[in-house]
């Protein structure tokens, strides 16, 4: 890696880390912290968990399509598909924040497989926090032409992102289905 590439890499890595940390703090506060009086239940967000699961499902499909495109060496198609996957994930994040801002409380799992649900949930949560900066870094490396560095982390990003998107759908079905 050249000095110029390393400097460019650092120029966007700091904002990626800052944005990722801020989003993680916001989500944690929304889920665990108190909300101002009158916010919870102020608008009906009961349909958003289904929207979120759909967005996660669309992300999964795009990730698999993006992987197929790059394996077929269709680089421009891969780029468009991966940007679409990122768009679905970004829409999910906005919808998730809105849901947790206005929901009365988190859904409670009442099924027979509580242990499995907790394992999925407790692996999904930290990996969801990790995937945000990892996906942004992978995207930035591809976007700015740091292809060798992009290729080094892309398989890990794909695996974790797929896990998070698939388990997001599973959590929805287990908690709301």
List, for residues 14-52, the tens digit of each pLDDT value. Answer: 899 899 999 889 888 877 777 778 888 899 999 999 999
**pLDDT at residue 58, as a whole number:** 98
Answer with the residue of higher pLDDT: 3 or 22.
22
* Structure letter (DSSP) for residue 144: T
| Residue 4 confidence class, pLDDT cut points 50, 70, 90 | very low
- Cα–Cα dist 167/176, whole Å: 14
Note whether residue 55 is domain-resident: yes
The answer to whether residue 78 is domain-embedded is: yes
Evaluate whether residue 13 is within a structural domain.
no
Residue 25 lies in a domain: no
pLDDT tens digits, one per residue of 104-121: 777 778 888 999 999 999
**DSSP class of 39:** T
**7 falls within a domain:** no
The CB-side HSE value for 94 (13 A sphere, CA atoms) comes to: 6
For the cut 80, the answer to whether the pLDDT of residue 61 exceeds it is yes
Which residue, chain included where needed, has tokens 């077929």? 72
**Inside any domain, residue 112:** yes
pTM value is 0.88
Domain that holds residue 161: 48-176
Q: What is the pLDDT of residue 82?
A: 97
- Dihedrals φ, ψ of 150, to 5°? -60, -50
User: Max CA-CA distance within the chain?
Assistant: 56
User: What is the Cα–Cα distance from 154 to 151, expressed in whole angstroms?
Assistant: 5
What angle (nearest 5°) sits at the alpha carbon of residue 59, between those of residues 55 and 60?
A: 120
Residue 17 falls within a domain, yes or no?
no
The total domain count for the chain is 1
Res. 5 pLDDT band, cuts 50 70 90 = low
In a domain, 30, yes or no: no
For residue 155, what are its two tokens?
Answer: 């398989």
Residue 33 is encoded by which pair of tokens? Answer: 């912290």
């Amino acid at each position: 890696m050249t000095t110029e590439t390393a400097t460019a890499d650092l120029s966007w890595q700091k904002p990626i880390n800052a944005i990722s940390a801020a989003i993680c703090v916001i989500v944690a506060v929304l889920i665990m912290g108190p909300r101002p009086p009158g916010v919870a239940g102020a608008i009906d967000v009961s349909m958003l968990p289904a929207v979120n699961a759909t967005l996660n499902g669309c992300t999964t499909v795009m990730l698999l399509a993006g992987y197929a495109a790059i394996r077929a060496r269709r680089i421009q198609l891969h780029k468009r598909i991966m940007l679409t996957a990122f768009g679905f994930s970004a829409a999910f994040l906005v919808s998730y924040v809105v849901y947790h801002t206005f929901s009365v409380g988190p859904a409670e799992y009442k099924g027979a497989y509580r242990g499995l649900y907790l394992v999925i949930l407790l692996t999904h949560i930290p990996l969801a926090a990790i995937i945000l900066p990892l996906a942004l870094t992978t995207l930035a490396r591809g976007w700015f032409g740091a292809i060798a560095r992009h290729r080094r982390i892309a398989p890990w990003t794909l695996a974790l992102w797929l896990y998070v998107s698939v388990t997001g759908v599973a959590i929805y079905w287990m908690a709301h289905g």
